[in-house]
Amino acid sequence: MLEPLEFISGVIEGFYGEPWTQAERLKLFDQMKVLGLNTYFYGPKDDLKHRTIWRELYSDSEIGILSEIITACDQRTLRFIYGLGPGLDVRYSDESDYECVCRRFDQLITLGCRNFAILFDDIPDRMDATDASRFSSFAHAQCHLTNRLFERTRCECPEVRLFFCPTPYCGRMAESKLGGPDYLSILGKELHPEIEIFWTGPEIISQEITVESIRDLQEQLRRKPLLWDNLHANDYDMRRFFCGPYTGRPLEIKELVSGVMLNPNNDFPLNFVPFHTMAAFLNAVGPWDPREGYLAAMMEWLPSFETVHGSISLDELILLGDCFYLPFQDGPEAEELYNNAQLLMGPQTHCWEKAARVFRVRASQLKLLCTRLTELRDRRLFYALSGRIWELREELDFLERYLAYRENQNVPHPNFASECHHLGTYRGGIVARLQRLMTRYPDGSFQPTEPPLFA
């Protein structure tokens, strides 16, 4: 038995979408070394041989890329984890499929990889007839394959470590019995005790992860879980990105998990604050104030926002970041902007006039900032921002035009048409049309939108 791993901290390249470039990965490794993070997980869903055609071995050119990554991690004393996701169509009782996994692991072992993950996330929770006749449950089948793989790989290379992502990898999935009844308890009993198990919290993207929930999970898994944290992931909504602080996790949770790894924004240049604030959280020994961590990280990120006509200010960067904060909340500056905009939808009272003045100042500041960001010297950073800031600018411009129109009207809700926001070109396309069919309410529920009188 190997010695227990040190606390695992790092970054997962595990999102759906275009993988990071090699240059971005090397830059990441340098950042991780500075921040005190120790582990990089390679598992981009759109590496076809990671998931879709997992039975095929890597080509010589692909091996060259992976070898460079492993070497770069070794040079910086970072742990490299290679992830394989065969769950879409693996046959748990099929010897040839087992050998395919072994050959893939052997291929990586020859490159120096010593840490592997087998992933059964985001797959159908059913077995084919042959597997169903052999195994009493989905969990039994996965444990059988994983334990066998672990023992075989350990014989080939005694220092190998293995990580496991379950099919129900969050509390909601487990409660709905995804993977079958008692899935997590079966894992706890049958999966080799040295195999680490990933967990995302109560949800796929968890607003909060409590101490109580992790303690309950420990009892089922009979080990500390390893957090696969999707707090800043944006592959489910590429109109947004998240540069708010690492939050919603109490410091005490560090004693109850074997590590914390962040699966972040797809756009690598937008992850500066997520990486820095997660590292600050993990290094914190006293009280952790997420907002203070965010402001400190923003100050460090500011030099990246040099334009051809000088740098933007820290206040401007904070205002921008607050508009792209976290999945479940906007930053304070953006929240104030929204609240004032919301007041402008109502009757023209004294409060309306005050909100109009404040909104105009902030909207003008943001629109000008969005324009200035087109001049960023760091073009990769601009390309990552461009679509999002253009959409923000367009919405602010639309509301400014509506505000000017309202100031000349005496009715609360006059019909309004903007000469610059035409039907089909503004909020157009099939996705926008489909979204308008259902109205979302503040509690998260939906109802059909009132149909027009004339179709």
The residues that are catalytic are 122
The structure tokens listed for 307 are 């334009």
Tell me, what DSSP letter sits at residue 161?
A: E
Backbone angles phi, psi at 380, to 5 degrees: -65, -40
Q: How far is CA 236 from the centre of its chain?
A: 8
d(CA 279, CA 102): 35
d(CA 47, CA 71): 20
d(CA 238, CA 344): 28
Q: Which one, of 234, 136, 144, lies nearest residue 181 by Cα?
A: 136
Backbone angles phi, psi at 367, to 5 degrees: -60, -45
Residues 206/172, Cβ–Cβ less than 8 Å: no
Amino acid letter, residue 283 = N
Q: Provide the CB-side half-sphere exposure for 70 (13 A, CA).
A: 18
Residues 180/137, Cβ–Cβ less than 8 Å: yes
